[in-house]
Every structure is written in structure tokens, then in C-alpha cells.
Amino acid sequence: MPKANETILEIDLTALKHNYEHLRSKLQPNTKFLAVVKAFSYGNDSVPIAQHLEKCGTDYFAVAYTSEGEELRNAGIKKPILVLHPQKINLETIINRCLEPSIYSQKTLLEFIETAKRKNQTNYPIHLKFNTGLNRLGFDKQDLPFITETLSGTTAVKVVSCFSHLAASEDLTEDAFTKSQIALFKDITSNLIPKLGYTPILHQCNTSGILNYPQAHFDMVRSGIGIYGFANDPKYQPDLIPIASLKTVISQIHELQPGDSLGYNRGLITNKVMRTATLPIGHADGLTRIYGKGKGFVFINNQKAYIVGNVCMDMVMVDVTHIDCEEGDEVIVFDKIHTAEALAEAAETISYELITDLSKRIKRVFLI
Ligand SMILES: *Cc1c(COP(=O)(O)O)cnc(C)c1O
């Protein structure tokens, strides 16, 4: 592996395939796999990730917004793409680019049917999203009569799937709540299906749902964080490989004397002799200020160096007083061993936030 001499996010596509195949191995053979590639594929760059997953055999993709789906279509992605959170202004684009909307309210159902009719569509695929307790997006059970009545009056759209989202599938202390969500989803869909007269794909599980609730895999599962290598649970982590490694380099080393301060707003004032290393990565790259003042850390020559003072826009300083290192040495912010999850936890956040925050300024380097 060449040594990093600037800040790079190295992405291992072999690990991506491994994670995909591992998660797939948890499913019944006929269960479909939807890969969630929203938010720049959780910071990894959605086009190469989706292209690779398409080769691996994923059945479906999901993005949050229409523009993310357009980007995949522009890159030649052929598999169906579910847009989880379309806005009214994008409905025409959805149809023009063969994207499939999540329909989550009476209003969005009427608006989409109206757009599909205007564009002379028949049986345009839509996905009905049901709220089973997350209380974020979705129809409630009471909307069923409205849905069936509205759908029976049109051939412009066809329900390709019904889905719902779990609120706490990674948290086994919320097991009873999760089971109530699963039961409600079954109840809603078993009421709806006879009225539709056909059976759409049913899906409810995200990554932790796949791992913890095999009884809720239904016809398809949706995985994001898992394909990028995070299990949300130490007991499953050994089976997955984090695909991304964030590496940088030491630009300069400073020696501070007792009483010296470091960085903006004198975020650190030392009472001892100290060596600090300045690295070319800052909050504009996504290493946000929450990692400053001793919360976050990096690894230099396999030793932990804490971030000291405030994180700057384009730089960060780390304490290397006890580390044998020099300018030009490689720095690991996270990799397969020193995980993004551990770094995120140290700053009281989650891997999802750390990896999706990584800005496009950081060069992505793909390893096959
Ligand atoms: C983001 C998202 C997912 C993926 O969740 P992971 O925990 O990353 O697997 C699945 N479903 C919906 C509706 C989402 O918004």
C-alpha cells in the first residue's frame, strides 16, 4: 500500500463485495437486497460504489433525494432506484429519469398520480412508505381506505413495494418496540394486499434489522451502513470490513514550552514541554470541531495521538509528545483496525455522522 502524502479516503472495493456477500448470506435465497447509496454512498462516492454493487448483483438501490438518483442514472446505473424522500418539485424528473418515488402521505400520492397522468404513464412504479413508530415519514394505518380508494381510480401508478423503517433495530433494549413495529407493518400490509389485488414487495429492515430481526426480512432488505463495513454491534463486527480508510500526513512538528498556547482561541495552553504535529485535514473536510480538545485521535506509527486545541478549517493539531515521528510520516485517522466507529464514539457521535460528513474535497482512491 503506498504511503499517503496528502489527505485521502482509500476505499476497498473487495471489502465492499465481502460485506455485501456476508449480509446477503443472512437472507433467504429469494429475498432481494437493496443497497442504500444516499449521501454520496455514506461519504464513499456513490457512482463507483453503485457500479461495483451492481456488478455484485444488488437488486435495488435507494437514495434520499432525486438529484442523487439522477447522478446514478447519468453514470449508467440500470437497476431500479428508490428515492426515499422526493419533493414535489422533483416529481417530473423522477419520471424522466426512471426513478421510483417513496410515497408517504395522501398529499404525495395525489401529487404523484397527477404528474404520472400528465406524463401519460401507466403502472408507474411507486413505493408506499408506512409509519410504524419512527414518526418521521409515512402513511398511518388509518390512511388505508384513502390509499385503496385513490389507487382503484387510476392506472397511472402501480405499487411495486410497501415498506416501513425501524427506529431502534440496533438496540436490543428496545426489542419490544421493534417487535411492535414489525407486527404493525404485517397488520397494515395484510389489510392492504387483498384490496390491491396483487402483492407488492414488502421490506422493513435496515442493516441492524437484517442482523437482529431475521423474522422481518420479508421480500427485501435495505442496507447502508453494513455494506460500508459497520455492524452497529461488536458481536457482528468481525464479519464485516470497514471499506474506507482516512489517511493523511504530518505537515509540520512544533515544540511548545510551558505557557505556550496552540491554535485558534488558544484552545490549548500547555503547562509542560510538548510536541505537536499539524495535519492537512480540518472541519471543512468533515473532521468537525467535536473531535477537538482531546476528544478525537489519530494513529501515527501505530500510536494514538490525541487532537489538541480547536480543530481549524483546514488543519488539526495532534499531541505527539510521546510518539517517535517526523514531518512527512503517514497518519491514520481511521481504517479497518482503528475504526471510524471508535473515533465517532469518542466524540459521542455515530459512525454514520463521521463518514457522511467527509467532504468532497478529500480525494477518494479506489482499491480493487
Ligand atoms: C438510510 C436508510 C436505510 C439504511 O440504514 P442503515 O442503518 O444504514 O442500514 C434504510 N432505510 C431507510 C428508509 C433509510 O432512510
Task: Judge if 216 and 307 occupy the same domain.
Answer: no
With a cut of 80, say whether residue 5 has pLDDT above it.
yes
Q: What is the DSSP string of 94-142?
A: HHHTT-EEEE-SHHHHHHHHHHHHHTT-SSEEEEEEE-SS--SS-B-GG
* Structural domain contains residue 47: yes
Q: Answer for the pair 9, 360: CB distance below 8 angstroms, yes or no.
A: no
Whether residue 82 contacts residue 62, with contact meaning beta carbons closer than 8 Å, is answered with yes
Q: Are residue 259 and residue 315 in the same domain, yes or no?
A: yes
Whole-number Å distance between alpha carbons of 184 and 180: 6
212 and 308 in one domain? no
- The residue whose CB lies within 8 Å of the most ligand 1 atoms, and thus the one to mutate among 33, 40, 84, is 84
Cα-only R_g, the chain: 24
| Domains in the chain, number | 2
Residue 6 lies in a domain: no
Confidence band, pLDDT 50/70/90 cuts, at residue 144: very high
- Active-site residue flag, 264: yes
pTM: 0.97
**CATH classification at residue 164:** 3.20.20.10
How many Å apart are CA 74 and CA 1, to the nearest integer? Answer: 32
103 lines ligand 1 (CB under 6 A): no
Span from the CA of 206 to the centroid of ligand 1 (angstroms) = 5
Co-location of 208 and 312 in the same domain: no
265 and 360 part of one domain: yes
Average of per-residue pLDDT across 225-237: 97
What single letter denotes the amino acid at residue 368? I
Q: Where residue 337 sits, what CATH number does that domain have?
A: 2.40.37.10
Domain boundary among 198, 229, 260: 229
Average pLDDT, the chain: 97
| pLDDT band, very low/low/confident/very high, at 360 (cuts 50, 70, 90) | very high
336 flagged as catalytic: no
pLDDT in tens, 84-131: 999 999 999 999 999 999 999 999 999 999 999 999 999 999 999 999
Residue 124 covered by a domain: yes
Tens digit of each residue's pLDDT (9 = 90 or more) over 168-195: 999 999 999 999 999 999 999 999 999 9
Q: Interhelix angle for 66-74 vs 46-56, to 10°?
A: 70
Q: Is the pLDDT score of 249 beyond 70?
A: yes
Q: Which residues are annotated as a binding site for substrate?
A: 136, 313
Residue 125 lies in a domain: yes
Domain residue limits at 347 = 244-367
> How many angstroms does the Cα of residue 121 sit away from the middle of ligand 1?
29
Amino acid at 83: V
CB distance 164 to 131 below 8 Å: yes
186 and 286 in a single domain? The answer is no
Alpha carbon distances (Å) from 364 to 11, 259, 322, 338: 7, 40, 31, 19
Assigned C-alpha cell, 274: 510538548
HSE at residue 331, side-chain half, CA atoms within 13 A, is 30
Same-domain pairing of 293 and 187: no
Catalytic-labelled residue, pool 17, 32, 38, 129: 38
Do residue 192 and residue 106 come from a single domain?
yes
Residue 1's pLDDT is: 67
Our mutation pick for probing the ligand 1 site, out of 181, 211, 222, counting the most ligand atoms within 8 A of Cβ, is: 222
Whether residue 208 is found in the same domain as residue 311: no
- Ligand 1 centre and the CA of 37: distance in Å? 9
Flag whether 351 is in a domain. yes
Q: Are residues 76 and 194 in the same domain?
A: yes
The answer as to whether 202 is a domain residue is yes
Q: Is residue 163, in this structure, part of any structural domain at all?
A: yes
221 and 337 belong to one structural domain: no
- Residue with CA at minimum distance from ligand 1 atom 10: 206
b (16+ CB within 10 A) / e for 335-349:
bbebbbbebbebbeb
Residue 16 identity: L
| Burial of residue 104 (number of CB atoms within 10 Å: 0-12, 13-18, 19+) | buried
Is position 277 within any domain? Answer: yes
- The side-by-side arrangement of strands in the sheet containing 297-300 is 252-256, 274-279, 316-319, 303-308, 297-300, 330-334, 244-249, 8-12, 363-367
Does the structure show a pLDDT above 90 at 2?
no
Last residue of a domain, one of 174, 194, 229: 229
pLDDT at site 4: 86
The verdict on 50 and 144 lying in the same domain is yes
Asked which of 196, 229, 262 is the last residue of a domain, the reply is 229
